[in-house]
Structure 1
C-alpha cells in the first residue's frame, strides 16, 4: 500500500505535469495567431472579462502606416469580453485611435458595443478619438474598412460568444451569396444603430454584463 506521504508526492507530481503541459500548449497556440481557430460547439468562454483593457500602442518599426490595419497581437484581449481576438480571424475587428493606439475585438458586435459607449468599458477615450475602424472579411480574414463593409444580421452563423453576430463582407454580392446559404439580411455600417446593437448585445452578453 502506498503511504500517505508518497500518495501526496504522486498527486503533486501529476498536477505539476498537467500544468506544464497545459502551459506549453497555450504558449504554442498563442504564438500562431494566424491559425483559423474555430471552437467546437460545446466550447464555452472561460476567459474572465478584462474590465479595463489598455489599447496597444502603435509601433513605428512595424512598417505599417499609423492608421493601417495591423495583425492582431496574440496577447490582445477584447475590451468588451476579455476573449482573445487572434483566435477568431474571420470575426475579428479593430479600431485605431488618432494617436495610433489600437483596440482589438473578437467580433463586430463587440466593436459596435464599444463605439456606442466606450466609457462603459473603462475607457476615457471618445468615439471622436477614433481614426480608423476595420473588420475581418468573413470569407478569408482580410481586413476591410468597416464603413465600407456589408454586414449580415440574423444569419445562422454564430460568433465567438455562441450568439448571433455580424459577419462582414467586402461587397453586397458576396454578402448576398452568404445570405443565400445562411439566411439573414444585409446592413451597411450606418444601418447598425443603437437598436441593432442592443439586440445583439443582449443575445451575446446578457448573462455576463450588469
Structure 2
C-alpha cells in the first residue's frame, strides 16, 4: 500500500474511533441533564431484614448485622464498620442496619424516606455500637462525642457512641470533642454532619 493511501486509511480509522468515542460521552451528558431534571423523591431502598424466630434472639433485641445488609441512608455495608454500626428495630422485629450514628439520626429524622414499609411510629428501639467495647447500646441511653479526631465510615466527622458518660468523656479527653446525650443531637447538627440528608438513592 502506498504511503498516501495508508495515511488516508489511517485517518479514516481515527475518524471512526473519534466519532464512536464521542457518542457515549454525548449520551452520558444527556443522562446527567435528565437526572438533574428529576424532581420527585423516588428512592430505591433495600427492604428491612425480617425477624427470624429461629435465631433464638428476642424480637426486639439487637441482632448481628448480615454481611450483605445495606445502609438505607447511604448504601454502604454496615457490617464492614462494626465500631460505628447502628440498627433500627421495628415493632414487628424487622431491622434496618446503618453504618454510623449520624446515619441513624438521618434515618430517624426522615424514616418515611429511608424505609419502604415503615414510619417513625413503627420503630420499637434503635441501637448504636459502643465505640470502645463493640457492644450494642440502646441509642436513647448512649453518649455521643461530637468533634473528635475519629473519622466515620465515610472518612468524615461522625458521632462515636458510648454506653457511659465516663467512657465518652475519657474518649473526648484523648481524641477531642464534646459529649452529647441522644436528645442533644439536633436535626441542625445532623444536617451539618451528614452527606446523606439530601442523598438520592
Q: Which TM bucket (shorter chain)? A: 0.7 to 0.9
Partners of 1:147 and 1:108 in 2: CA distance? 12
Partners of 2:108 and 2:120 in 1: CA distance? 6
Structure 1, unpaired ranges of 5+: 1-49
- TM-score of the pair, normalised by structure 1: 0.72
Partners of 1:96 and 1:121 in 2: CA distance? 14
- Choose which of 144, 148, 170 in structure 2 pairs with 1:151: 144
Partners of 1:209 and 1:164 in 2: CA distance? 21
After TM superposition, give the deviation of residue 122 of structure 1 in Å. 5.3
Q: Runs of at least 4 residues of structure 1 off by over 3 A?
A: 204-210
**Count of residue pairs the alignment pairs up:** 159
Q: Does 1:55 align with 2:48?
A: yes
- Alpha-carbon spacing, 1:58–1:159, altered in 2? closer, same or farther (3 Å): same
Using CA pairs under 8 Å that are at least 6 residues apart, name the structure with larger relative contact order, 1 or 2: 2
After TM superposition, give the deviation of residue 208 of structure 1 in Å. 5.2
- TM-score of the pair, normalised by structure 2: 0.75
Corresponding residue for 2:169?
A: 176
Partners of 1:184 and 1:205 in 2: CA distance? 22
- Choose which of 146, 149, 155 in structure 2 pairs with 1:162: 155
Partners of 1:208 and 1:79 in 2: CA distance? 11
Larger radius of gyration: 2
